[in-house]
Amino acid sequence: MNLHGAGPQSHARLDALAGDRPAVRIGHAAPGWDGPPWTDDPTRPERRRWCDLLAACGLVTADEAAAAADDLRLPEPPPPAVGTGAVVIHPGAAFGAKRWPVERFAAVAEAVAAAGHEVVVTGGPDEAALTGAVGGRDLAGRTSVGELCRLVAHARVVVAGDTGIAHVATAYGTPSVTLFGPVGPAQWGPPAGEERHVTLTDPTVRRGERFADDPDPALLAVGIEDVLRVVMPQLTDTSQRRRPDPGVPLGP
């Protein structure tokens, strides 16, 4: 199953793994692969693409795919060893185009800490310089994927750019503020109507270069006060903290 993209590199690697063994190939159309064509539609949620792929392959019905596309719930894991109830700030992203300036993250962290809330900063082991500039408890490179998920699931609020940890917050129902740059929230953001998950961006100045080294203007248009206007009420509004039904997991 190819859940990476349209290929050809990913298709070729999977074919090499399969070798001469008979295999069922599930993915988008490519040489040797049956499936729906790959299309880019910035108004179509990316999660819908993959649910529709399952329908195209006959694994679910079209109605089941449509219903599941916005059901992102994951069962709640046990609490983390540290950081339960903290504000999690994740300043990193794979490319500079999605990376809000670190001094702005630091200003948000300072305001949150001044209001009496614990701040935990997360990132990979190669992001220590970035996370260290934010302030708060720095856990960069000190958590496994499972530990990071537990931290997010039991956080008070998650503040991040358009990257994986923001999607994890959506799946656990943790209030979040996600800052979008080259790609808008219609494609990669949380389901519409989820009040606890707020997205901030300015599409009128979006450049749209996903792999650029510098932040997209749509991201830079989001100011520190814009984030704090959302975060501060989230810290006191317990009505936004509604756990997903643990009996309806996303997968096994």
For residues 12 and 249, the model is more confident at 12
- Give me 118's structure tokens: 């614990």
pLDDT of residue 247: 34
How far apart, in Å, are the Cα atoms of 248 and each of 38, 47, 72, 76, 243? Answer: 29, 17, 9, 11, 12
Residue 240 pLDDT: 56
Please tell me the pTM assigned to this model.
0.87
In tens, the pLDDT along 46-81 reads 999 999 999 998 999 999 999 888 887 899 999 999
Model confidence over 161-174: pLDDT tens digits? Answer: 999 999 999 999 99
What is the reported pLDDT for 184?
93
Q: How far apart are CA 49 and CA 248, in angstroms?
A: 21
**Amino acid letter for position 244:** P
- Residue 175: the pLDDT is 96
Other residues' Cβ atoms within 10 Å of the Cβ of residue 176: 28
Q: Is the pLDDT of residue 239 over 70?
A: no
Q: Give the per-residue pLDDT at 245.
A: 39
> For 84-138, how does the pLDDT look when each residue is reduced to its tens digit (9 = 90+)?
999 999 999 999 999 999 999 999 999 999 999 999 999 999 999 999 999 999 9
CATH 3.40.50.2000 fits 87-240, yes or no: yes
Per-residue pLDDT of 187-222, as tens digits, reads 999 988 888 999 999 999 999 999 999 999 999 999
Please tell me the predicted confidence (pLDDT) of residue 246.
Answer: 36
Q: What would the two tokens of residue 78 be? A: 């046990």
Pick the closest to residue 55 from 26, 82, 81, 79 (CA basis). Answer: 26
Q: Encoding tokens for residue 85?
A: 């109830």
What pLDDT sits at residue 241? 53
Locate CATH 3.40.50.2000 in the chain: 87-240
pLDDT of res. 236: 87
